[in-house]
Structure 1
Amino acid sequence: MALCANVVVLGPAMGFGYSAVAERAMRAEKADGDLQLDAYQANWMATVSALGTPIGCLLSSVVMGRGRKISMYVTSLISMAGWVTIYMSNSYVQILVGRSVSGIATGMASVPTTVYVGEIAGPKWRGTMVTWTSISIALGVLIVYIFGYIFQDNWRLVALICALFPLCAIALALLVVPESPLWLRDRNRPDEALEIMKKFRGIPKDQPAPAEVLFELKPRQQKKNQNVLKYLTKRSSLVPFGIMVGFFFFQQFAGIFVVIYNAVIIMDKSGVQVDPFFGAILIGIARFIASLLTAGVSRKFGRRIPSVISGIGMTIFMGGLSLYLFLIEKGTVMADNGVVPVICMVMYIFTSTLGFLAIPFAMVGEIFPSKVKDILSGMTVALGYVFSAITIKMYPNMEKLMNMYGVFLFFATISLIGVIFILLFLPETKGKTLREIEDMFSTKKKVFELQSVAERVVEEVIVPTPVDLLQRN
């Protein structure tokens, strides 16, 4: 079911890489009078998608209240509508509309899927399975790069093929994927929740649910209405919010999404001797492999070490590419046959995925206090995508002003400053409970630590029986 849920991510994720493979075909002269874009319009084609993404992030929290299954269905429906609109576009405005709709779907895609997988997975597999969303995003980008390589001159066909993925996701959401049992539990539908949870845990219908399953479905204690603004202004909320917004700032202004959105054009202008579309595929492969490694690296080394290594790698490879292009600009003859730019670009994406690209998205689910997690996580990711839209829109002007080597030197500099930021401010959350993470930013650490110890002692002594759980239900 987790794999089926992650199919929902593929179609929206392709929107990240579509502008990279479609821009050259859209800007080429058409003998049949088909739609043609200039450089300014092509840049807006990429930017409007990034502008729609934060809207989707905020919208997902609203739709998720109607159900995890419904949110996945709506996300896929919006994604398919965006791709079909692009395919049928006969004007520049229609392309912008299609790309905007696709961007909204991109913003909506990851949160419901991650939450659903987290709610259905057992404790042993949960930490690994929630990373499948980032893997699915990387796979979606790689697939659209491959389609762009095969159909280099047919951006309409690429859009149409991309529409097939959300169509499959709609079928899975309607026919295969059940609703989250925890969502059903919170909506006072315990019988349905228990039936579905027994399926997920491999328990036959005619057998009673064991204690651990009943414990998973134990209703949460209802709290009285409290002032959310009060919790938003606490130090335990403001400090992690500032840290995460800063992390997303360095993530985006280090050029990660600029490279993803413009991979083919950047490869073409960087002196690469291979087909730029094939170079984009290499970038997609590097990101996909790194996303597979990220879960294990983060689980073993935590958050800070991979982030620091990631930033250092980004600085080295962007700085190396900048120096390479600067030397060529000054007339130096390189005997590498364009191998160095390929290595620098691929390794930049690889190292960025190990830390700067993946870890901020993972940390928003654990660093904020539970009372304001939904609000602050949505706001943080939305701001991250706003930064993305700004960098994508600025990129052509920066290239004209600073030349390509100047832009890459800027990205390298921001990456280095980001490393310093991580060393000074980013907390380590490895091995800590959500409560302990919250206590790191609180002014009452000692009190919380004593309470935490007391609670652990009580939990070790008092073990609820199945009868107790049923009575509490």
Structure 2
Amino acid sequence: MANIIDTNNANSQMDVNNANELTDINNIMNRRTDVNNINGRISTCIEIKMEPSVDEKKKWERDGVIYQVLMGLCVNVTVLGPGMGFGYSAVAEPAMRAPKTDDLQLDADQANWMATVTALAIPIGCLLSSLVMRRGRKVSMFATSLISLAGWVTIYTSNSYEQILVGRAICGISMGMATIPTTVYVAETVSSKLRSTMVTWTSVFTAFALLIVYIFGYILRDDWRLVALMCALFPVMAIALIVLVIPESSLWLRDQNRPEEALEVMKKFRGIPKDQPAPAELLFELKPRLQKKNQNLLQHLVKRSSLVPFVIMLSYFFFQQFSGIFIVIYNAVAIMDKSGIQIDPYIGAVLIGASRFTVSLLTAGISRKFGRRIPSMISGVGMTIFMGILSLYLFLAENGTVMPDNGVIPVVCLMLYIFMSTLGYLIIPFAMVGEIFPPKVKDILSNLTVAIGYGFSAITVKMYPDMLRLMSMQGVFLFFAIISFVGVIFILLFLPETKGKTLREIEDMFSKKKVFELPTEGVVEERVAPNAVGLLRN
């Protein structure tokens, strides 16, 4: 018995010595010791894994940022083809209405319906997107690009007015499908530091698409068919990127009970090599929120965390659409011509597109620094001021007042209106729908919100000719100014700030639960795959 005790004491002393000798090593290594009792013998198996240095972690973070930016650019290419549909009627209508003997000719009512049918089809695309997105974000973007391609080819090959309407309706469906998948994809994959900026890229690319189609219209002003064919090239490019480059969203993979793939994709987006352990914060980001058992979709939809943001976003889209933003987009050439602006209306449309694109780039940076509320309020105040000035200018001019500005004031007011609208009202709502809804209902509520928003757009586009007859141009602009100002009051009272918050924290803002604190754990050993995957599943 004494010998056994002595042996145990010796083993204990040896363990203490080994521990002392490994004290310094443990600062830079992960050490896992498994003690197995086999046939009365104690065997110690030590697995040592080098902990990454500070420089390596910085490199991973830098690689992750680069990958996030590249993927953000790639997925937003899918917006270009559909986005050109917003500006196509503005540049194609004059060519379609011009007298000709060898091609189709539309009257004023037919030209208005060409724009209206697109606006009516957009909500259908939004609702269709909510169904397709459940099959995957990549599938949704692929379907969007394919439908966009079909729409442009239909317009290019049109032999009748009815076929043009069919092509425009198909393009409208793709326009409705384009916004949400890209915004949601970015919101689900990029880090919270970059999300405030990158979720605005969908609007940036839409503005870029508008600029491109306005340039096409200026260069090819007499050939609406060739403009449509040029627009068809961009969905082809998007399809190639979706098939060959873009991975599936990590959060969608997680929700489909595919945690291994979700973890692999998320590590790519964070720049972590495959053979390295996943940090605790990454696993926490992928860990689904605990839900009550047997809750169906309707129960998730009627939660406070779903209903409150839904009402807020619907209100914001109402003020966006009835402040005239999309009326100016759809009727850019005609509005430039009727506002007393003494320049080529096609060049004016290009200026509108260039202004919107430039400011959308600026808004991406402003949104990262100032969030959602401040740019939105500044945007509404600016729109109110410049629409009011333009309305007053046209009123005075119509009543015989001679203006010595040679048409400069309308140009400045319209350009500044475009500037201010893009700063907030145009971009912020589309950016927020990708981040403000809980994961369980994001597919449905984000698309439903945008669908109703575009429903507002269809109403305003169809109402515009009647408003013009009843109120004249200055009255229409005054109406836009009033709605913009009321929108500022709404934003001040109700719009939440999401800047710098994780998706989990945003959801908690609208529920009664406290924000869940991130555990202060260190690096989780990914080599113990069942534990890591189990954390994602539980």
Task: Decide: shared fold, TM above 0.5.
Answer: yes
Q: Do residues 424 (structure 1) and 493 (structure 2) align? A: yes
Shift of 1:142: 0.7
Percent identity, aligned pairs only, is 70
1:215 aligned residue: 283
Find out whether 1:3 has 2:76 as its counterpart. no
Kindly tell me: are residues 217 and 187 of structure 1, through their superposed partners in 2, closer, same or farther at Cα, counting changes over 3 Å?
A: farther
1:345 Cα deviation from its structure 2 partner = 1.0
Out of 347, 350, 374, the residue aligned to residue 419 of structure 2 is 350
Q: Which residue is 1:411 aligned to?
A: 480
**Shift, 1:227, TM fit:** 3.6
C-alpha deviations, 1:290-330, integer Å up to 9, x for none?
11121222222222221111111101111111111111111
Query: Structure 1 residue 398: deviation in Å?
Result: 0.7
Which moved further from structure 2: 122-131 or 187-196? 187-196
Structure-2 residue corresponding to 1:89: 158
Aligned residues of 2:196 and 2:367 also touching (Cα < 8 A): no
Of 220, 223, 228, the match for 1:159: 228
Superposition misfits of 4+ residues, deviation over 6 angstroms: none
Give the Å deviation of 1:231.
4.0
Paired with 1:470 and 1:129, the residues of 2 have a C-alpha distance of 33
Could you tell me which residue of structure 1 aligns to residue 531 of structure 2?
Answer: 471
What are the residue-to-residue correspondences of 1:71-470 with 2, within 5 Å?
A: 71-189=140-258, 192-193=261-262, 196-197=265-266, 199-202=268-271, 207-211=275-279, 215=283, 218=286, 220=288, 223=291, 224-434=293-503, 436-442=505-511, 444=512, 448-449=513-514, 452=515, 455-456=516-517, 459-460=519-520, 464-466=524-526, 470=530
* C-alpha separation in 1, matches of 2:373 and 2:258: 41
Asked if 2 retains the 8 angstrom alpha-carbon contact of 1:185 and 1:217, the reply is: no
Range with bigger deviation, 116-125 or 255-264: 116-125
Q: Which amino acid aligns with 2:100?
A: K
Q: In structure 1, give the amino acid aligned to 2:379.
A: S
* 8 Å contact from structure 2 (residues 184, 434) kept in 1: no
Q: Which sits farther off after the overlay, 256-265 or 372-381?
A: 372-381
CA distance in 2, matches of 1:194, 1:419: 42
- Counterparts of 1:366 and 1:199, CA distance in 2: 21
With over 3 angstroms needed to count, the CA separation of the structure-2 counterparts of 1:379 and 1:182, relative to structure 1, is closer
Q: How far did residue 355 of structure 1 move?
A: 1.0
Measured in 2, the distance between the counterparts of 1:153 and 1:81 equals: 23
TM-superposed deviation, 1:430:
3.4
Cα distance change on mapping 1:123 and 1:470 into 2, 3 Å? farther
**Equivalent-residue separation in structure 2 for 1:214 and 1:345 (angstroms):** 46
Return the offset for 1:438: 4.3
Q: 1:12 to 1:304 in 2, by over 3 A?
A: same
Q: Give the conservation status (yes or no) of the 8 Å contact 1:214–1:466.
A: no
Aligned amino acid, residue 371 of structure 2: G
Alpha-carbon distance in 2 for matches of 1:307, 1:187: 36
Contact 2:214 2:346 in 1 (8 A): yes
> Which residue identity lines up with residue 176 of structure 1 in the other structure?
V
Q: Work out the number of aligned pairs and report it.
A: 462
How far apart are residue 238 of structure 1 and its match?
Answer: 3.1
Task: Compute the displacement of 1:217 (Å).
Answer: 8.3
Which residue pairs with 2:39 in the alignment?
A: none
- The equivalent position to 1:22 in structure 2, one of 92, 95, 109, is 92
Cα RMSD (Å): 2.5
CA contact (8 A) 2:211 2:350 kept: yes
> Taking structure 1 as reference, are residues 470 and 176 closer, same or farther at Cα in structure 2, changes over 3 Å only?
same
Give the whole-Å Cα distance in 1 for the aligned partners of 2:389 and 2:265. 53
- Give the aligned residue type for 2:400: G
SS of the residue corresponding to residue 319 of structure 2 reads: helix
Moved more, 462-471 or 159-168: 462-471
Find the residue that maps to 2:520 and give its secondary structure. helix
Residue 192 of structure 1 deviates from its aligned partner by: 4.8
Over residues 192-233 of structure 1, what are the superposed CA-to-partner deviations in whole Å (9 max), with x where a residue is unaligned? 55555555555566x345436972785636743304333433
* Separation in 2, partners of 1:2, 1:73: 15
Q: Given the alignment of the two structures, is residue 13 of structure 1 paired with residue 105 of structure 2, yes or no?
A: no
**Which amino acid letter does the alignment assign opposite residue 306 of structure 2?**
S
CA distance in 1, matches of 2:392, 2:130: 44
User: Residue type matched to 2:494 in 1?
Assistant: F
Distance 1:368 1:54 in 2: 19
* 1:214–1:469 contact (8 Å) kept in structure 2: no
In structure 2, what is the Cα distance between the partners aligned to 1:333 and 1:10? 43
- Aligned partners of 1:194 and 1:217 also within 8 Å: no
Partner deviation per Cα, 1:419-463 (whole Å, 9 max, x = no partner): 122223223333445455445544x4xxx34xx3xx42x713687
State the AA in 2 paired with 1:377. Answer: S
Q: CA deviation at 1:105?
A: 0.4
Q: CA deviation at 1:417?
A: 1.5
Q: Deviation at 1:412?
A: 0.9
Higher share of residues assigned helix: 1
Provide the rounded CA distance (Å) in 2 between the counterparts of 1:259 and 1:184. 40
Q: Is the radius of gyration larger for structure 1 or structure 2?
A: 2
- Out of 38, 52, 65, the residue aligned to residue 134 of structure 2 is 65
Contact 1:75/1:109, CA 8 A, preserved across alignment: yes
Cα 1:291–1:193, aligned 2, differ >3 Å: closer, same or farther? same
Unaligned runs of 5+ in 2: 1-70, 534-538
Task: Assess if the C-alpha contact under 8 Å between 1:264 and 1:279 holds in 2.
Answer: yes
Give me the whole-angstrom Cα distance separating, in 2, the residues matched to 1:196 and 1:240.
29
Per-residue CA distance 1:140-187 (angstroms, 9 max, x = gap): 011001111111111111111001111111222223333334444444
Provide, for residues 231-278 of structure 1, a one-character-per-residue CA deviation record: whole Å limited to 9, x for no partner. 433444333322221111111011000000100010011111111111
TM-score between the two structures when normalised by the length of structure 2:
0.80
Cα deviation, residue 358, structure 1: 1.2
Change (3 A) 1:5 1:438: closer
Q: Residue type matched to 1:238 in 2?
A: L
Q: Taking structure 1 as reference, are residues 189 and 343 closer, same or farther at Cα in structure 2, changes over 3 Å only?
A: same
- The two structures have a TM-score, normalised by structure 1, of 0.90
Amino acid at match of 1:271: G
Q: Distance in 1 between the 2:438 and 2:267 partners?
A: 31
